[in-house]
Each structure stands twice: as C-alpha cells, then as structure tokens.
C-alpha cells in the first residue's frame, strides 16, 4: 500500500472545510514512530473542529482527532518497537499536530504511551481523553483532601463522555454521585453507570448569593450559570473542578462561597497536562478503570460517520462516548 486515508480540516483563506484525503507514506524523522491506528474517539473539541463551529486547529490544515490507539509499524525511537500497542491523547493532537482520524499516524515518541496491561486498543479509546481528564479531575480533588465521608459529588453534563466516566470512576472508588443532566429520559443509563441521584437544573434554583449546602464537591463540564449555582451550593472546603464549557464559557459569580465556606475551584487541562501521563494511564487501567465501559461507549462508528456524530454531539443529543473504529 502506497497511500493511506485521513480526515482533514482546513482553513484556506479562513474558509472551513472538512474532507477525506489520501496521504503518501514517508520516511520517519528522528524520534518519530509510525502507528497503524486502530481506534480514535470523537471528543467535544473534535466535534467543534469537524463541524467548523469554532476554529480549533492552529495551522492552515490538519488531521483532527485528539486521541488514538494502535500498533507500532515502524520506529525511529529506542523506546518503541514494531508490534507494540500504543496510545496518545491531547499533547496538541488534532490542534497543533496531526491527530487520530487517520489510518496511519506519524507521531513523536515523546507523546506516545504503551497501552498498560489490563487495557486493549479498544478499551483505551473507550476511556480516551474523556477518561484521562476525569482521572486528573478526581486526582486533583483527592489531593485537595476531598473525602468519601464528606458527602456526594455532583457531576454535570452527566450523559456526556467526561460526565459518564467521572460518575463511573467516582462510584468505583466509593464516592456517591449526583448526576445533573438535561436528558431526564436517561435515568436508567445514569443509574446503570453508577449515579445515585439524578437532577435537572433550572434557573429559578439560582436566585441567592449562597444556597443551601447540597453536595461536597463537583466536576463541572458545562460552565456558565450552572457553575455559578454549583459554587454557591457546595459544602465547606469542597472542591469543584471546572473541566468544560458545553453550555457557556462565562462565569458570573461572587467571592462569598470562597471566603465564607472555603470552597475551592480547581482546573484541568488534559491537552497541556505537565505531570506524568503514564501514571494517570496506570490508574485508569487499575483502581480507576471504569467498570461499565461497554455501557458508556454506546457507539462504535467508522471514519465516514465522524461528521454525522459530531453534529449530534454539538447539538447535545449524544449519550456516552463515540469511538471511531479505523482498522
Ligand atoms: N479541560 C479539559 O482538559 C477537557 C477535556 C475534555 C473535555 N473538556 C470539555 O468538557 C466538556 C464536556 O466534554 P465531553 O467530551 O464530555 O462532551 P460530550 O460528550 O459532548 O458531553 C457534554 C455534555 O454536556 C451537556 N451539554 C451539552 N451541551 C449543553 C448545553 N448547551 N447546555 C447544557 N449542557 C450541555 C450534555 O449532557 P446532559 O444532556 O446530560 O446535560 C452533553 O452530553 C466540553 O466543553 C469539552 O470541551 C475539557
């Protein structure tokens, strides 16, 4: 085979386009590895990139896909050899460098990780960037002294990828979870993946400067007025991790919860995560490993369906995680 197929996003003269392209194989650069991609996944940022909702790529044209798993075909690095199973997440993939929506990926050994024992190329992408992010968020809360006996953790955007995996991991390590969702018909799904209580937000809940203390911490995927309500409703010393902005990037709030209840607001950047990625993946393959991956991964699609499912994700209509099977 002389060429391979990739999806591409491009901005020629600032006009967005998304198409399938043939690429030629080339020689490896120093430290580079050629991977036959087996699975990728559609992350929220990929959906934005593919549909052109906002510009994600930092150059004129790029292969989208924040993550992938597969097999090493050829290596110019002493750390990787032919036949090994590998994965990569974030680190600029699909944003600053070519990502995972491709049959073959040329990737620097610096961002490649051996798939840990106990995970496969499929389960690694069922977890993907969403699970990696959920694990960092939970680690940050625990590092900041969040304890199971302080009370339940609220998870917003609960039927989404980060939300679903966060609920599942928290449940596995003993935390009670409250799922906040707009999809009230997804009660069974949320219970099946570990949520103990399911709630829906409405703006009338958010009138006071401080609300009754409702939960001991939160993982928030949607931002905006929901995040404001969370900050006002968290128990003393509770940790809130701001992960996403599926609803709104703005936050209009007061400092009262921080100065009267010692509420902590933490952040996560899975793209620019500077600590050891291998350590996080080790946890995701052991004590953090989601128990209900087949329930969370509700769809496994092909490259040709990436646009259709990206539109569904942007419309907020998807449930669970979308894995892309490439070979
Ligand atoms: N900081 C990081 O490193 C990092 C890493 C990964 C993702 N993220 C961000 O985290 C967020 C969630 O990512 P994801 O992969 O879980 O996305 P996802 O699978 O599409 O899930 C997002 C969920 O948010 C809710 N939602 C969507 N649109 C909404 C709207 N307009 N208003 C209110 N709720 C809405 C929906 O849940 P319900 O219908 O159940 O309410 C949806 O399922 C995104 O903003 C993403 O960019 C950040």
pLDDT tens across 60-75, in order?
Answer: 999 999 999 999 999 9
CA separation (Å) from 323 to 42, 297, 309?
6, 7, 10
Residue nearest to atom 19 of ligand 1 (CA): 160
How far apart are alpha carbons 64 and 60 in whole angstroms? 12
d(CA 313, CA 318): 5
- Closest atom of ligand 1 to 186 CA is 40
**How do residues 285-325 score in pLDDT, each as one tens digit?**
999 999 888 889 778 999 999 999 999 999 999 999 999 99
Domains of the chain: 3-115+297-325 (3.90.180.10), 129-267 (3.40.50.720)
Ligand 1 centroid to 267 CA: how many Å?
15
Give which of 205, 206, 215 is closest to 251, Cα–Cα: 206
**pLDDT the model gives residue 206:** 86
Q: How many Å apart are CA 99 and CA 303, to the nearest integer?
A: 13
- Residue 186: pLDDT band (50, 70, 90) is very high
CB 91 near ligand 1, within 6 Å: no
Share above pLDDT 90 across residues of the chain, in percent, rounded to a whole number: 92
* pLDDT for the residue numbered 36: 98
Q: Ligand 1 mean position to 188 CA, how many Å? A: 20
Atom of ligand 1 nearest to the CA of 48: 47
pLDDT at residue 194, rounded to an integer: 95
Tell me how far the alpha carbon of residue 51 lies from the centroid of ligand 1, in angstroms.
Answer: 16
Cα-based torsion angle of the residue sequence 40, 46, 52, 57 in order, rounded to the nearest 10 degrees: -100
CA 7 to chain centre: 20
Cα–ligand 1 centroid distance for 156 (angstroms): 8
**Separation CA 41–CA 320 (nearest Å):** 11
Q: Report whether residue 89 contacts ligand 1, using a CB cutoff of 6 Å.
A: no
Establish whether residue 159 lines the binding site of ligand 1, counting it when its CB lies within 6 angstroms of any ligand atom.
Answer: yes
Q: What pLDDT score does 207 carry?
A: 84
CA angle 321, 70, 116 (to 5 degrees): 80
- Cβ–ligand 1 contact at 130 (below 6 Å): yes
């Amino acid at each position: 085979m002389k060429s391979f197929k990739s999806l591409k996003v491009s901005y020629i003269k600032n006009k967005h386009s998304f198409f399938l392209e043939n690429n030629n194989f080339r020689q490896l650069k120093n430290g580079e590895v050629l991977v036959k991609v087996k699975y990728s996944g559609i992350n929220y940022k990929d959906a934005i990139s593919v549909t052109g909702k906002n510009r994600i790529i930092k150059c004129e044209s790029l292969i989208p896909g924040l993550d992938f798993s597969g097999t090493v075909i050829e290596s110019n690095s002493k750390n990787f050899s032919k036949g090994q199973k590998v994965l990569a997440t974030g680190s600029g993939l699909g944003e600053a460098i070519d990502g995972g929506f491709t049959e073959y990926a040329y990737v620097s050994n610096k961002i490649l990780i051996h798939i840990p024992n106990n995970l496969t190329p499929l389960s690694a992408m069922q977890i993907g960037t969403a699970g990696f992010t959920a694990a960092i968020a939970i680690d940050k809360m625990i590092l900041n002294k969040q304890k199971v006996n302080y009370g339940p953790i609220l998870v917003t955007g609960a039927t989404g990828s980060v939300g679903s995996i966060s609920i599942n991991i928290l449940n596995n390590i003993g935390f009670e979870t409250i799922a906040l969702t707009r999809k009230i018909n997804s009660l069974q799904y949320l219970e099946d993946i570990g949520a103990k209580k399911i709630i829906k937000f409405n703006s009338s809940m958010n009138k006071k400067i401080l609300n009754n203390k409702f939960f001991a911490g939160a993982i928030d995927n949607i931002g905006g007025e929901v995040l404001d309500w969370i900050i006002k409703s968290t128990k003393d010393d509770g940790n809130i991790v701001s992960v996403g902005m599926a609803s709104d990037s703005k936050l209009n709030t007061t400092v009262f919860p921080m100065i009267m209840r010692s509420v902590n607001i933490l952040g996560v950047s899975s793209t620019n995560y500077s600590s050891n990625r291998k350590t996080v993946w080790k946890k995701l393959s052991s004590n953090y490993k989601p128990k209900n991956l087949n329930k969370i991964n509700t769809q496994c699609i092909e490259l040709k369906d990436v646009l259709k499912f990206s539109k569904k994700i942007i419309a907020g209509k998807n449930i669970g995680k979308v894995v892309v099977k490439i070979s």
